[in-house]
Chain A
Amino acid sequence: MLKYVPMRKMKPKDRAGLHAAPGLTLPKPFSRAAAGRLFPLLAVLYLIPAGLAMAGTFSYEGRKTNVTTIERSGVAYFALDPVLQAVGLLREPYAAGQGFQIVYQERLLVLGSDSPYVILDGEIQKIEATPVEEGGALYMPGSFFTGPLAGLLDGQIRVAGSALTLSSLKKREGPTLTNVELHYLGGFTKVVFLFKHEIPYTVKETARQILIVFPKAVQYAGGPLKVDDPMVESCLIKEKAILITLKQEDTTLSTYSLSNPYRLVLDIARGTPHAAKSKGRPEEPRFLVVIDPGHGGTEHGAVGRTGVMEKDLTLRIARLMEDLLKREKVDVLLTRTQDAAVGLEERAGLANNRKGILFLSLHMNAFRIASAHGAETYYMSLPAREAAPAAPATAPPASGEESIAAPESSLEFILWDLAQSEYLKDSARLAEMVQEEMDKLWNVEKRGVKQAPFTVLAGVTMPAALVEIGFLSNEEEEKQLIRDDFQMQTARALVQAVDRFRSEIGARWQPSGE
């Protein structure tokens, strides 16, 4: 059985090949004779480890706690447990795998005794060096206290020699808003509020105003917001609320949250007046197809020899599909309508929030082997169960009160897996239909579909597939792909696949009315 041997426990000759490992300073390889000469000194040092330990302190709110410190390879380490006890915390076995966890105000810090990586709220962070476990105590390098632990406590920890000092913990009196962004993306405005932590909120709407209310006052260091947007008149942050005033009444609002970092996102689109929705008759059941033109803005994707960019081709074909589907009275949502960078999580969030029935992401392929050709269609593969404390998959954003929270805990992650697996079978069928139509388009023999962990597919809660329409790295295919008539043929083929899905499977997903 293969066993991971921590480097500090390795024999010197076995460590020789690992000198490049980060965070560790290893001795130069030395001969056995030299080892024999050095051994008496090393043995004496080993026999009196207490002699290397020094008395350090941890100060918090005027109280001082004794903390043992040690030094290894020039790095100062502090015993972790006394520090945690001083602030009323505990180091416990990690509930979802190997290592330990520290929980503070619903936030989770995961660490391992043999790893220079820690995970704070799902984000991997690297610390200065691998922890040291000695005499039952776990010693962490100073950077662990100033970085991840301070982050967990939302405080500031300073290291001065053998003294650690924690400044007073910030009381979470209200959400800390760190940034506000407005992006006009052609037809709709995306307003993004970036918060330091997840925070509950409620949204209230009137004809021309959107009011976001928080349980406590919003802390925002920035000054008054200057808004220059075709749809938003103003954005005012005051006390427990954010008030957005619109320039027109006929808008549709979608609200959802994204994690890592926590963001509250509002998509304000021209369309049915949101305030009038509840007054009219119930909406007709609809089949909303979400088309995701891959890449955009500074992220151009693959580039052909002629200079044609993936982002432009995917948008053109998406628009053609939109026209064709609208002629069939099918509702269509494009995740971007112009040459703009839209995050993969945001694309999935938009699709979920608008309750899409089907999600199709359009891409152009590239490969270093120029002969690679034809279309390839993928659907999502679920992560394998593993011992590694994997960060949760991209959280699926959703809207309002029905929002699906980010899967922060292991249990939620499993539930998220189950929810995803519900769509997998139909995602596979959708991918097959798309691939069959693409094979006909390229006039190639039938190819199967594949599974892979695509980020954009991980976040959507509906049958979803990603099609690589053709290879821009293949000269012949590039010539085809840039032709208007071929783009139209491609759009027709993809719409044909969507139609087949609608007729064969779509009814199962279609809402029965609201």
Chain B
Amino acid sequence: MATLRRIAFWIALAGAAACQRAAVPPAPSGAAPAPEPAPVVRAKTVTLFFIHSETGDPAPALSTLNASADPMVQIRDLVGQLLSGPKDGALVSPLPQGLAIKALYLLGPTLVLDFGLPADASPIEGSRNELAFVYAVTNTVCLNFSDIKNVRILLNDADDSPLLTHLSLRQSFTPQIQ
């Protein structure tokens, strides 16, 4: 019984240590190397791309992402902030209303962003609106996370959506400030 309790103690100790690993500072030089390098955990200042309400030009807005060891969590936060719209009254969001993040994942340098759409979403009118939408997302993601080179957008799991009647989603987008 005592042996079992001792085993349980060591397992629990190892578990607690594993849970705190992220907070462990880097080992000083000369000390035994840590089993894994500690990930960088810090807040990040980012630029969101909206459009200016008078000129219609792409307009940046600064924001902050919460600290996270995982860039995917920060990217989700970033896109979430873009979906929430600008806080500055001089800017407007080029994103269709009702969009939500369904999934996002990385394939090499490509971020695949799958948006969910409300069932009653109407097609976007005008190619300028479509371009403003896809490039607001692409510019915001790529210009804040330099390892992401392009963005592939899916709408309700598909690359063929009635929401867009001009642009093809069968290829990924690279950042472009027009």
Contacts and interface: CB of A to CB of B under 8 A. Distances in A.
B157 A36 contact: no
Contacts of B76: 17-18
Contacts of A21: 103
A372 interface: yes
A5 B71 CA distance: 9
B44 interface: no
Contact of A393 (B18, B70, B102, B170): B170
Contact of B12 (A39, A295, A299, A310): A39
Given A2-B147, A39-B15, A13 B22 contact: yes
Contacts of B125: 301-303, 310, 366, 472-473
Interface residues of A, number: 75
A365 to B, nearest CB: 5
Interface in B21-54: 21-22, 51-54
A389 B114 CA distance: 15
A42 B148 CA distance: 35
Given A2-B71, A17-B77, A98-B107, A452 B127 contact: yes
Interface string B149-178: 110101001110000011110111110001
B56 A39 contact: no
A111 to B, nearest CB: 12
Contacts of B18: 39
B8 to A, nearest CB: 5
B63 interface: no
A18 B73 contact: yes
Nearest to B162: A299
A398 B14 CA distance: 65
Interface stretch (A71-79, A317-325, A433-441, A453-461): A453-461
Contacts of A1: 147
B15 A36 contact: yes
A366 B20 contact: no
B21 to A, nearest CB: 8
A380 to B, nearest CB: 10
Given A5-B72, A302-B125, A369 B92 contact: yes
Given A39-B11, A455-B167, A387 B109 contact: yes
B107 A384 contact: no
Contact of B54 (A369, A453, A473): A369
Interface in B1-24: 8, 11-12, 14-16, 18-22
Given A98-B108, A366-B126, A368-B94, A452 B170 contact: no
Interface in B98-121: 101-103, 105-110, 112, 114
Given A4-B106, A388-B108, A455-B168, A126 B157 contact: yes
Interface string A454-495: 111010000000101001110000000000000000000000
A124 interface: yes
Given A17-B68, A124-B157, A390 B171 contact: yes
Contact of B11 (A43, A368, A372): A43
B61 interface: no
Given A43-B15, A299-B165, A384 B159 contact: no
A44 B12 CA distance: 11
A40 B15 contact: yes
Contact of B154 (A124, A367, A387, A454): A124
Nearest to A17: B73
Interface stretch (A83-91, A112-120, A143-151, A217-225): A112-120
B128 A36 contact: no
Interface in A342-398: 363-369, 371-372, 376, 378, 383-384, 386-394
A386 B109 contact: yes
A399 B37 CA distance: 60
B15 to A, nearest CB: 3
B103 A14 contact: no
Nearest to A43: B11
A344 B101 CA distance: 28
A37 interface: yes
Contacts of A471: 126, 128
A32 B167 contact: no
Nearest to A112: B107
Closest 3 interchain pairs by CB?
A39-B15, A387-B108, A366-B126
